[in-house]
Amino acid sequence: MASTSTFQFSILISLFLVSFFWIVEGNLPQSCKQNECPTYTVVEAGNGYEIRKYDSPVWISTPPIQNKSFVGATTNGFIRLFSYARGKNNQNKQIKLTAPVTSEVSFNGGKPSIVVSFFVPLANQNNPALANGLSVKRWKSKFVAVKQFGGFVTDSNVGRYVASLKASLGATKRSFTFGKSFIIAQYDPPFKLTDRVNEVWFLSQ
């Protein structure tokens, strides 16, 4: 009987530790040491957030996806982008996977619309491959407010992290403002279970 209780206690402790490490905010994503990521400069670091300046990254993006489920829309969009990267494009070229995959959420009449994007590697940015239904987006220099968080992104926790970043920015004053839409950037593949890194982004207008 004692051994059963000890076993159950060990399971509870293990679950607690896994949950703890999933919610702790991480540092620079490990995936950026393995995959190409857009470069940026940190121009401000505050309590629970930082402001980055991104210089002209290029993205391949889906059209807006209408889906009440953030996870469902992101999954559908990623499948299309993965096919594109694996050669289903007008150049029949395989494109190296990068990080992060971003999901930009905007609202029209209260209904969410989600655009999923894949960062185009520098080697392909001058002449990016095209595909039906996908579009190329080129950012000009842009300021981005960022909050990092761990674990898996779910329909139930997205709003919490967006609200947290808004609260962190509420007391600050700067010469630019952020729009009402937001982006969730996911750096890790779905089969990675621990030390995951995600970010909430607000883009400057």
Query: What DSSP line would sit under 25-44, residue for residue?
Result: --SS-THHHHSB---EEEEE
pLDDT reported for residue 10: 37
121 closest CA partner among 131, 110, 129, 113? 129
* Average pLDDT over the chain, rounded to an integer: 85
pLDDT over 70 (residue 175): no
pLDDT over 90 (residue 31): no
Q: What is the distance, to the nearest Å, from the Cα of residue 55 to the centroid of all Cα atoms in its chain?
A: 18
pLDDT over 70 (residue 11): no
Query: Of all helices (H) and strands (E), which one includes residue 164?
Result: helix 158-169
Token couple for 153: 């992104």
Average pLDDT on 101-119 reads: 92
Average pLDDT on 107-135 reads: 93
At 130-150, the pLDDT tens digits run 999 999 999 999 999 999 999
Query: Of all helices (H) and strands (E), which one includes residue 17?
Result: helix 2-23
Average pLDDT on 26-43 reads: 83
Is 98 strand, coil or helix? Answer: strand
Q: How far apart are CA 123 and CA 135, in angstroms?
A: 18
Structural fold of domain 20-203 = Multidrug-efflux Transporter 1 Regulator Bmrr; Chain A (3.20.80)
Question: pLDDT class for 98, splitting at 50, 70, 90?
Answer: very high
Rounded to a whole number of angstroms, the CA Rg of the chain reads: 19
> In sequence order, which residues have a C-beta less than 8 Å from that of residue 13 and are 6 or more positions away?
none
Q: How far apart are CA 19 and CA 110, in angstroms?
A: 32
- Of 7-11, 13-17, 178-182, the range with the lowest mean pLDDT is 13-17
pLDDT over 70 (residue 14): no
CA angle 42/185/14 to nearest 5° reads 105
- Mapping DSSP onto H, E and C, the string for 119-180 reads ECCHHHCCCCCCCCCCEEEECCCEEEEEEEECCCCCCCCHHHHHHHHHHHHCCCCCCCCECC
At 48-95, the pLDDT tens digits run 899 999 999 999 999 999 998 999 999 999 999 999 999 999 999 999
Token couple for 70: 């953030």
Token couple for 178: 């952020």
pLDDT reported for residue 173: 66
pLDDT reported for residue 20: 31
Token couple for 198: 């995600």
Q: Are 150 and 195 in contact (CB under 8 A)?
A: yes
pLDDT reported for residue 24: 35
Q: How far apart are CA 167 and CA 112, in angstroms?
A: 22
Pure H helices in 51-139: 70-85
